[in-house]
Amino acid sequence: SLKGVDPKFLRNMRFAKKHNNKGLKKMQANNAKALSACAEAIKALVKPQLGKRIRSYMAKGRRLQKTKPKVQAKAEASAAAQAPKGAQAPVKAP
């Protein structure tokens, strides 16, 4: 029970409870907005060919964005590997 507790302290506690809750609600709303914006951005990035697999990509959205440079490097390596045997690798001009 709260008998013997300083009434001023109790008043402050109730005030703090009420006002902290407002901040929490604002924060939750902002988080929801940010998440939906992130989802929209990922939808724009992901190719439409993926079709059914889009959900898994949405879930892994952040990871997908981070791995883009590796994917490009692999594509370049595979392109070099597919060149005919007699052909030389392209030489960069100095």
- Domain segments of the chain: what residues? 7-73
pLDDT greater at residue 89 or residue 39? 39
State the average pLDDT over residues 4-30: 80
Q: What is the pLDDT of residues 29-77, one digit of tens each?
A: 888 888 888 777 777 776 666 555 666 666 666 565 555 555 555 655 5
Q: What is the mean pLDDT of residues 5-32?
A: 80
Q: What is the pTM of this model?
A: 0.29
pLDDT of residue 23: 74
- In one letter, which amino acid is 65? Q
